[in-house]
Structure 1
Amino acid sequence: MRTHEQPATDSDLADTLHARGQRATSQRLILYRALRELDRHATADELLRASAERLPNLSLPTVYATLELFEELGLVRRVAVEAGPALWDPRVDPHQHFACRSCGRVIDLDVPARAGTAMAVARAAGHAPDSAQVVVVGLCRDCAHGPADV
């Protein structure tokens, strides 16, 4: 599997987990499937609710632990936007985010992230950065234009 390619099926995810020395538990498969099916940036709470029918005994700490493992393995990205809980992004390819300060939506921007500059600045300051993310904040198209005038 290429660096930014996402597992498309449970079988692909199981293969990826096994190749990286991890077990493909039903909880891991169901949580990853829930994130893919939501098809948006989701909080751990939203993923817990989305998985509740299939995993009624699933706990929030288990959801967080699983998401953090997925992040370590490069299967998801944690997106931090101003105040509020972390969002989990099923897309791991280079892209930026737009966060609407009115409705709270986080929208993918299909522009290659220009993280190189931020990484270089951090290195020049003596830090050892692993990654950088760009989050543009403002009003989304819907909130900026409001309801259509009739």
Structure 2
Amino acid sequence: MRTHEQPATDSDLADTLHARGQRATSQRLILYRALRELDRHATADELLRASAERLPNLSLPTVYATLELFEELGLVRRVAVEAGPALWDPRVDPHQHFACRSCGRVIDLDVPARAGTAMAVARAAGHAPDSAQVVVVGLCRHCAGGPADV
């Protein structure tokens, strides 16, 4: 179940976790805060590094398990971009992504994703889809030589 409202504070996240039958552990709170503070799509490795000072014994498998729980609860989105590692997006409202094939940056596009069409096509082919993502791939404005204020 996805919600479009993101917890803004640790207290909000704790309330959301408790309401869904989950514990609000310090690891969960710190990892979610790290993802919000990075203010971009991040890999699990980047989140591990960003949390290392506050959680020196945190392991990569724990980061993945926490992110997967957050995804199940609708708190984050996993963004798959070509052959690279999964990126985690704290923004769960409907939107698309642009992935730069030169610098690797992933940029939110503020247009509603047209996932319904892809889901309908998959269902018509006999599949049982859970979700759909739209990722546009090309050169970002910076790499293409355009205005850099993306």
Same topology, TM > 0.5 = yes
Partner deviation per Cα, 1:88-140 (whole Å, 9 max, x = no partner): 00000000000000000000000000111100000101111111000000000
Cα shift readout 1:32-79 (whole Å, capped 9, x = no counterpart): 000000010000000000000000000000000000000000000000
Distance in 1, matches of 2:127 and 2:17, equals 31
1:5 match: secondary structure: coil
Partner of 2:76: 76
Q: Is 1:148 matched up with 2:148?
A: yes
Tell me the TM-score normalised to structure 1 length.
Answer: 0.95
Q: How many equivalent residue pairs?
A: 150
The offset of 1:148, in angstroms, is 9.6
Q: 1:26 offset after TM fit, Å? A: 0.1
Aligned-residue offset at 1:149: 17
Give the conservation status (yes or no) of the 8 Å contact 2:2–2:75: no
CA distance in 1, matches of 2:15, 2:30: 15
1:101 aligned onto 2:109: no
Preserved CA contact (<8 Å) 2:3 2:75: no
- Gap regions ≥5 residues in structure 2: none
Which range moved further: 88-97 or 127-136?
127-136
Aligned equivalents of 1:67, 1:4: Cα separation in 2: 17
Distance 1:9 1:71 in 2: 18
C-alpha deviation, 1:147, in angstroms: 9.4
CA pair 18-121 structure 1, distance change in 2 beyond 3 A:
same
Match of 2:130 in 1: 130
* Contact in 1 for aligned 2:98/2:137 (Cα 8 Å): yes
Question: 1:11 & 1:147 partners in 2: Cα distance?
Answer: 39
| CA distance in 2: counterparts of 1:47 and 1:78, whole angstroms | 14
Partner Cα distance (1:91, 1:113) in 2: 13
Q: Is there any run of 5+ residues in structure 1 with no aligned partner, and where?
A: none
- In structure 2, the residue matched to 1:35 is 35
Whole-angstrom distance in 1 between the partners of 2:122 and 2:149 = 47
Percent of paired sites with the same residue? 99
Give 3-state SS (helix, strand or coil) of 1:132's partner: coil
Residue 97 of structure 2 aligns to a residue whose secondary structure is strand
1:2/1:106 Cα in 2 relative to 1: closer, same or farther (>3 Å)?
closer
> In 2 relative to 1, CA 2–61 (structure 1 residues): closer, same or farther, beyond 3 Å?
closer
- The Cα shift of 1:3 comes to 2.2
1:5 has 2:5 as partner: yes
4+ runs deviating over 2 angstroms: 146-150
